[in-house]
Structure 1
């Protein structure tokens, strides 16, 4: 499914299935169809598509001076500095590491085992605290003036070790990135139980682990994870709470840097706070223009009663454009049953009642049944978001469901009979911009039929 930058859009292939099936199914099948319509699709795993851009809640970082001072107190950083001072000028192996006798002495000095000593050595070398030359190891320059840049390098060195076995737990190393992102999104941290269950689920689904492997992991993971968390606390990323763990202030800063490097939306609270004060119409306009980050609606909703927030959004959507409804639908999709009274009121709105029925149905709340014509109307409303995108041809290319085929040709014919006010405009758009000649011709022909009616 494509995201045009103008809010969530529905998968048109699933919408087409909806046209055929929604009126005749119920229960789990109905929920699955409605969920697919709402955009809850599995991420492509072909390896050729770009990674999905994720949106994280805004965070408030500790003052830079406070963070910089904390860097020097991180056990890993402290040991890397001590190791560099102890090493002085010393011969190293061809691989650039200490000879066994020296490594044993260094480990005893620092009070670490061999694996942790190797991590300390790598950090000391990669951050420039130690320099490896043809004659051996020698002290590098003093700490850089920008301690946060130095800290960023330390964390990158740590995370780069997961491929070679950072924590001693293969499962933890495999899912460490997801674990960090998950805890980043929960400002109060996460319990051990939730963390273990989340990692087991991620491993079972992501790695297609079999039942016997999952039984073994369920027994072994708690102890493995406990040791892994000790190491990550040593690295300055985690701190333990009464019943779980949370990121340290330095951990929050470092994970955010990594998320930003990966292209994810990880704003500061100060960057999105102003959006929480906008009216619903102003917020939607800021989202449509691309000015507001995708995390802004979450904060906007949090500052209001859910029912009131939903009611404000629905008022805009009811008299707005399909583009506005697409954006608002994305925000409403994140809201729970507490918004039901406002959504149920939207059943009386001509432009919103079908969307409201979908919202209610996904949550297994009483909702009107949708006919084939209603499904086509929703398909048109979804495609009409393209009318509000500057480069419709490029945006159209992002919709895999708009690839030429019998289903799309049949949908084009159904659109020509739709009562949606933008039906002809959508057909003209497909006729003018769809890259497949057969589809474009069918759309132009269907537009002529619609106009004649």
Structure 2
């Protein structure tokens, strides 16, 4: 969705999930419209990028003193300091690297060879431990007072080397950022088997790898990944566990910095802990106002029995506004089958039973069949979340991305006949803010019809 700061509630992509669940709906026509309406709302609206904005679970980071002390014990950092002292003042190649004879000597005396020596050299130079000019290499500055800024630069140097074959595994290099983000999202780490399987899936989907390549990778990737993880451990990012890997405290800090730079939602536990103590109604209001980050509900649910949490949310939604249902819908979407009893109870609620039917259906659980009218009601309910946003006017600007056409005109007509209490308000919203004059005029006309009924 757009990074609107409203906790992820304006998510017209929710409409797409209704398609296969609506029994009497014209499939191709409604698919075309809803796909059109959902498009573009999963991307950042910062204007500088088109990347998807992701929400990560809140994390705890070690104290600044502990982290700074840990930087000094990272093998890569220690070797960069050793290499800088060893190098002293000497000539370098036109590319600013050690001559082969000096590189061989560094290997003998420091145990640094090949790509590892190149990585350590780059870190030493980029961090200022070594200075390169026309005269060659010479001693640079000492470690800066701000060791975390220094560490951030070291990690960026490491991640920038993936195009040059950082880990020795092409697959690990290709998907290193995804791997770091995945492990960041699992505070207890990830098993080795799950990591291998995740990397294979990422490669198969992201790189459209064919069956022969995947068969080869299934045999080769475990050994490659083992070597890659050793390199990342050397860089201070990973540590081994009994059956897998996890980020080090420095790794957690560094990955979070990178996620924040990319505009993702990666809060500290201290920033969202208070939201976990709120009632369901208070949490929903905080999300609707934009006060709570989109990661707050994750922690709120984690602190409760899933079925009980779902029941609390549904109680608020059943008597609340479309805006509240929009917020609650995004939270319920993240809950698994353990919440089924609460969703079955919701089938008895007039304003929630359609949402509950969709929730059950998409999880292949027994659910009522929805009619075309039910589908329209849900579409109105989702669009009506705009009526309850503090920046509804700005959010409506996203309608400029919609391609007006017969499908949108047809939905406008369907909305005018809907029994949803917000149907007229939604039509008036479209009539006032849709950039296409034909759509806006049709919506105003449909609103007049609906009022006359």
Give the alignment's TM-score, normalised by structure 2.
Answer: 0.92
Question: What displacement does 1:91 show?
Answer: 0.8
2:132 aligned residue: 132
Question: What displacement does 1:41 show?
Answer: 10
2:240 aligned residue: 240
Gap change, CA 1:166 and 1:202, over 3 Å in 2? same
Deviations 1:69-122 (A, max 9, x none): 111111110000000001111111111011111111112222122110010000
Question: What displacement does 1:405 show?
Answer: 0.9
Give, in whole Å, the separation in 1 of the partners of 2:131 and 2:176. 29
Give, in whole Å, the separation in 2 of the partners of 1:43 and 1:395. 13
Question: What displacement does 1:403 show?
Answer: 2.9
Question: Structure 2: any 5+ residue segments left out of the alignment?
Answer: none
Q: Could you tell which deviates more after superposition, 184-193 or 6-15?
A: 6-15
2:182 aligned residue: 182
Instruction: State the secondary structure of the residue aligned to 2:245.
Output: strand
> Does the 8 A contact of 1:6 with 1:323 survive in 2?
no
Give, in whole Å, the separation in 2 of the partners of 1:161 and 1:220. 22
1:382 aligned residue: 382
Gap change, CA 1:450 and 1:12, over 3 Å in 2? farther
Equivalence map 1:208-223=2 (5 Å): 208-223=208-223
Give, in whole Å, the separation in 2 of the partners of 1:314 and 1:419. 21
Deviations 1:22-48 (A, max 9, x none): 2149xxx9xx99x989x899978xx99
> Does the 8 A contact of 1:288 with 1:327 survive in 2?
yes
Give, in whole Å, the separation in 2 of the partners of 1:265 and 1:278. 20
1:93 aligned residue: 93
Instruction: State the secondary structure of the residue aligned to 1:61.
Output: coil
The answer to whether residue 75 in structure 2 is matched with residue 75 in structure 1 is yes
Deviations 1:36-75 (A, max 9, x none): 89x899978xx99621111111111112111111111111
Question: What displacement does 1:164 show?
Answer: 1.2
Gap change, CA 1:148 and 1:293, over 3 Å in 2? same
> Does the 8 A contact of 1:383 with 1:426 survive in 2?
yes
Question: What displacement does 1:212 show?
Answer: 1.3
2:328 aligned residue: 328
Gap change, CA 1:252 and 1:391, over 3 Å in 2? closer
Instruction: State the secondary structure of the residue aligned to 1:445.
Output: helix
Question: What displacement does 1:391 show?
Answer: 4.2
The answer to whether residue 152 in structure 2 is matched with residue 152 in structure 1 is yes
1:373 aligned residue: 373
Question: What displacement does 1:189 show?
Answer: 1.1
Deviations 1:292-349 (A, max 9, x none): 1111101011111111111111111111111111000000111111111111111111
> Does the 8 A contact of 1:88 with 1:139 survive in 2?
yes
The answer to whether residue 299 in structure 2 is matched with residue 309 in structure 1 is no
Instruction: State the secondary structure of the residue aligned to 1:59.
Output: coil
Equivalence map 1:4-403=2 (5 Å): 4=4, 5=6, 7-8=8-9, 9-11=11-13, 14=16, 22-24=22-24, 50-399=50-399, 402-403=402-403
Deviations 1:203-249 (A, max 9, x none): 01100011111112112111111111111111111111122111111
Instruction: State the secondary structure of the residue aligned to 1:292.
Output: coil
> Does the 8 A contact of 1:131 with 1:138 survive in 2?
yes
Give, in whole Å, the separation in 1 of the partners of 2:402 and 2:232. 46
Instruction: State the secondary structure of the residue aligned to 1:348.
Output: coil
Size of the alignment, in residue pairs? 443
Give, in whole Å, the separation in 1 of the partners of 2:440 and 2:379. 17
1:417 aligned residue: 417
CA RMSD of aligned residues (A): 2.6
Deviations 1:135-180 (A, max 9, x none): 1111111111111111111000000000111111111100000000
Question: What displacement does 1:11 show?
Answer: 3.3
Question: What displacement does 1:363 show?
Answer: 1.3
Give, in whole Å, the separation in 2 of the partners of 1:14 and 1:230. 43
Give, in whole Å, the separation in 1 of the partners of 2:314 and 2:197. 37
> Does the 8 A contact of 1:12 with 1:401 survive in 2?
no
Return structure 1 stretches of 4+ with deviation > 4 angstroms. 1-4, 15-18, 39-44, 399-402
Give, in whole Å, the separation in 1 of the partners of 2:365 and 2:77. 54
Gap change, CA 1:365 and 1:16, over 3 Å in 2? closer
Deviations 1:350-378 (A, max 9, x none): 11111111111111122111111111111
Give the alignment's TM-score, normalised by structure 1.
Answer: 0.92
